[in-house]
Amino acid sequence: MSDKNWWRGAVMYQIYPRSFMDSNGDGIGDLKGITTRLPYVANLGVDGIWLSPFFKSPMKDFGYDVSDYRDVDPLFGTLADFDDLLATAHRLGLKVIIDQVMNHTSDQHAWFKESLQSRANPKADWYIWADPKPDGTPPNNWHSMFGGPAWSFSPKRGQYYMHNFLTSQPDLNFHNPAVQDAVLDECRFWLERGVDGFRLDVTNYFFCDPQLRDNPPRVQDMSTSANQADFPYPYNMQYHQFDKSQPENMAFLERLRSLLDEFGSTMSVGEIGDDNPVQLAAAYTAGTHRLHTCYQFSYMNGRKNKLGASLIRKPLEDFFAQGPDSWPSWAFSNHDVVRAVTRFGNDARDPRLAKLLIALLCSLRGTPFLYQGEELGLPEAQLAYEDLQDPWGIALWPEWQGRDGCRTPMPWDNTPTKAGFTTASQTWLPLPDAHIPLCVAAQETDSHSVLSFTRQFLKQRKTMPALISGDIRFVDTANESILVFTRTADHQTVTCIFNLSDQAQTWQQESLPPYGFLLQDCHS
C-alpha cells in the first residue's frame, strides 16, 4: 500500500453503486451491499475499485448532480457506511478511488441557490452567468450534450446560466479562484478520510472561453469521442473549440496534483471527452505535476465498433508519440457506453470475445479499467421505453435508449429474488433475463467461464512485469484481424498475438482460433 506508483499498470474495477448490490431491500444498490461483495472483487485479482458517485443528490443524473460533496445520499447509506467500505477494501488489499464531479453541481446545491439570488451576492460569480443577446436569445451557440442549448434563463437574475448537461446541472465558474479553492477543499475532505484518489468526471470541461465565443460548425464528420450518438445530433455539429478544453485548465490540474501529492500514494484519473482526446490526455498527464493518468473514449465511441488492429493500435501509438513519458488508462466499457461484447460483437453473445477483450485490455500498456459485469461477459440490456431512467435516453428515444442498457443490476445467482441483487420485488432498472444464465454463481462452478478466465488471467498477469509496466512495440501483420505486439520489462518479453475476428486466422505458422490469442513469455 506504500508504493507511490501502484497505479501504473494496476487493474481497476468500476462499481456503479445503484446496480452492484442492494443490502436493504429497496431495489437499489448501496454502500453496505458493495462492502459485502468486496471479497468477490478482491478475488478477481484486481488492484482497486473506482466507485461512481454516492454523494447527496436529487438524482436527476443519478449522482452526477451533487447537492452536497461531503455527505452520502441516504439512498446509499451514511458516511459511517462509506468508512466501513473503505476499511474493508483496504484490509482486502484494494485501493479505492471515488468519482469527483467538479465541473458542475446540482441546482439544489447551496452554492447555486445563493448564486441564483442576485448579481451581487458573495457567490454571484461562482457559476457561469451571462446576459442575453439583445433579442433575448442565449449568449452563444453552445449546445448541451443532453440536448438543447447549453444555457437556461433565470428571471430572478435576468441572465442565462451555462450547463453542459441537464438544466439542473449548472457549470461552476473555474475562472473564479474562490471556486477552485472550494472544490479543492471538497477533495481534501475525502483524502483526509482515506481515499486513494479520484476519477475526475469530464476533466477537460472545467474551463470555458471567458469571451463566450461561438463554436465553429463541424462541416463533415459529425462524430465526437464524447458522445454515443451515431445519428445527426446538434452537439456533434460543432467543433468544441470554446466550451471546453481551455488552456487555463492546466494550472488548475497542477493545483489538484499538489493537493494529491500531500497525501502520498494517491492517484488521479481524468475522463477526457474531446475532438482530440488522445492529444489532450497526453498533455494532461505530462510530467509529474498534472494528472497521474487519463482515459478517453477511443475504444468506447459509438454503438457499434469494428474490432480491428488499427482501432487498438492507433490510439496507443498516438498517445505515446504525444507524451512518451505519460501514462494512459484504457477501458472498453463503463457506465456511459454500450457494453463491449455487444458493441464489438454486433449483438452476438460469444464468450470467446468476452475473454479476448479481458486479455487484450489487460495486456495493453497503461492502466486498465474493467466495468462491473465485464468479467461475466454481460451483453447490453435491451429495455422498453417505460423502463428507461436515463434522461438522455428518454430524450433520444427511439433512436437510442441511452445509458441504461449498461447500468442494469449485477446478476449474482439464479434465485427468484432478482438474481441475488435484492430481496425487493422490483429493481430500479429491470434485470434482463439474458443475464441470469451468466450470473456469478453459475460461472464460478464452470472452469471454462468468462469469470474463471478473468481470475486466471489476472492471476497470471501479476507474475508478468512486462504486462504491468513494460514498453510496447507493435508488429505489422498486414491483416486487420490479427494484432501483434510485444511488452518488455525487467528482462522479460511477452509477445501477444490476438485474432480479433470470429473466423480462424493463420499468422507465421500459428493457427489462431476465432477470438483467440497466444501469450508467449520469454526471459533473457
Positions marked active-site: 201, 262
8 Å CB contact between 111 and 181? no
3-state SS class at 376 = helix
* Rounded Cα–Cα distance for residues 248 and 134 (Å): 29
For residue 517, the cross-strand partners are 498
8 Å CB contact between 198 and 100? yes
What are the two backbone dihedrals, phi and then psi, of residue 41, each rounded to the nearest 5 degrees?
-65, -45
For the chain, the C-alpha Rg in angstroms (whole number) is 23
Contacts of 206 (CB under 8 A, 6+ apart): 102, 103, 172, 174, 249, 252
Strands 267-272 and 293-296: parallel
Contacts of 9 (CB under 8 A, 6+ apart): 366, 367, 467, 468, 469
C-alpha grid cell, residue 506 = 493463420
* Rounded Cα–Cα distance for residues 263 and 269 (Å): 16
For residue 498, the cross-strand partners are 483, 517
User: Quick count: other Cβ atoms within 10 Å of Cβ 186?
Assistant: 16
∠ at Cα 469 (465, 473), nearest 5°?
100
3-state SS class at 522 = strand
C-alpha grid cell, residue 428 = 430500479
Alpha helices by DSSP H, 230-383: 249-261, 277-284, 309-322, 340-345, 351-361
8 Å CB contact between 450 and 456? no
C-alpha grid cell, residue 188 = 481534501
* Rounded Cα–Cα distance for residues 312 and 300 (Å): 11
Contacts of 479 (CB under 8 A, 6+ apart): 309, 505, 507
∠ at Cα 417 (412, 420), nearest 5°?
20
